[in-house]
Chain A
Amino acid sequence: QLQLQESGPGLVKPSETLSLTCTVSGGSISSRNYYWVWIRQPPGKGLEWIGSIFYSGTTYYNPSLKSRVTISVDTPKNQFSLKLSSVTAADTAVYYCARRIAVAGIIDDWGQGTLVTVSS
């Protein structure tokens, strides 16, 4: 049974960098069958794809966030990470890590999500 768990600070100051890590257990992050994804959801609002990474390190980002986002993978630790720079209150959201089936494109497993608040 695959499990994804987000970790990182729940409070970030404006203009600083938000950093989260997703630890994958019960499966290998090095599988060619999957992309690893970050998605966020502001309180009371809809879902927004942030970006995806393949085990090789190939990344794809949402154009609206691309200038501020970096996603990386650590295969020995079975983890992938998100960095979002120059945050504002608009970046306050529940951040989910998830697994996307590479060919089918669907997201079949999600972490529980972690709330990150941007505030001074």
Chain B
Amino acid sequence: DIQMTQSPSTLSASVGDRVTITCRASQSISSWLAWYQQKPGKAPKLLIYKASSLESGVPSRFSGSGSGTEFTLTISSLQPDDFATYYCQQYNGYSLTFGGGTKVEIK
């Protein structure tokens, strides 16, 4: 099984900050990685797919990079609506694995 490790688990930041979240895969997954945003009581929302492709309608301040085993999600200028929990997810094959999540809190 492919394991996904996210860091940090919690991140405190202020509006306007540049924020970076890291996700590591236990083996190479090429670029088969997605990022989701989840707010309390809601289902996750797709932000980025294929490591760096922005889902339609998602603000351009969100960006993704990486390939193989190391990936990052960057929010260029944190907005009030961005305080949420973020998950990475690999889809290399038929199985899916999520990272443990990163909660972005107000500093």
B89-105: CB near A (< 8 Å → 1, else 0) gives 10110111111110000
Q: A110 and B96: CB pair below 8 A? A: no
Cβ-defined contact, A48 with B34, below 8 A = no
A47, A60, A111: which contacts B95 (Cβ < 8 A)?
A: A60
What residues on A are CB-neighbors of B94 within 8 Å? Answer: 52, 60
Nearest Cβ on chain A to B100's Cβ, whole angstroms: 5
Residues in A whose Cβ lies below 8 Å from that of B96? 37, 39, 49, 52, 100, 105, 107
Chain A 25-53 interface 0/1 with B at a Cβ cutoff of 8 Å (1 = within): 00000000000010100000011110010
Question: How many residues belonging to A are interface residues under a CB distance threshold of 8 Å?
Answer: 22
**Inter-chain contact B98/A110, CB cutoff 8 Å:** no
Q: What size tier do the contact residues of chain B reach?
A: 20 to 34
A3 to chain B, nearest CB (A): 12
- Known contacts A96-B43, A110-B43, A113-B43; A47 and B91 CB within 8 A of each other: no
One of B16-24, B44-52, B67-75, B76-84 at the interface: B44-52
Other-chain residue from A49, A98, A104 in contact with B97 (beta carbon distance below 8 A):
A49
Is B87 an interface residue when CB atoms closer than 8 A count as contact? yes
When C-beta atoms are compared, the residue in chain B nearest to A97 turns out to be B43
Find chain A residues with CB under 8 A from B1 CB.
Answer: 63
Task: Decide if A7 is an interface residue (CB 8 Å cutoff).
Answer: no
- In the complex where A63-B1, A96-B43 touch, is A105 in contact with B98 (Cβ < 8 A)? no
Residues of chain B within 8 A (CB-CB) of A63 are 1, 95
Whether A104 contacts B50 in the complex (CB less than 8 A), given A46-B87, A46-B98, comes out as yes
Q: A46-B99, A110-B43 are in contact. List 15 more A-B contacts (CB 8 A).
A: A39-B96, A46-B100, A47-B101, A48-B98, A49-B96, A49-B98, A52-B94, A52-B96, A98-B43, A104-B49, A105-B32, A105-B91, A106-B89, A107-B34, A107-B89
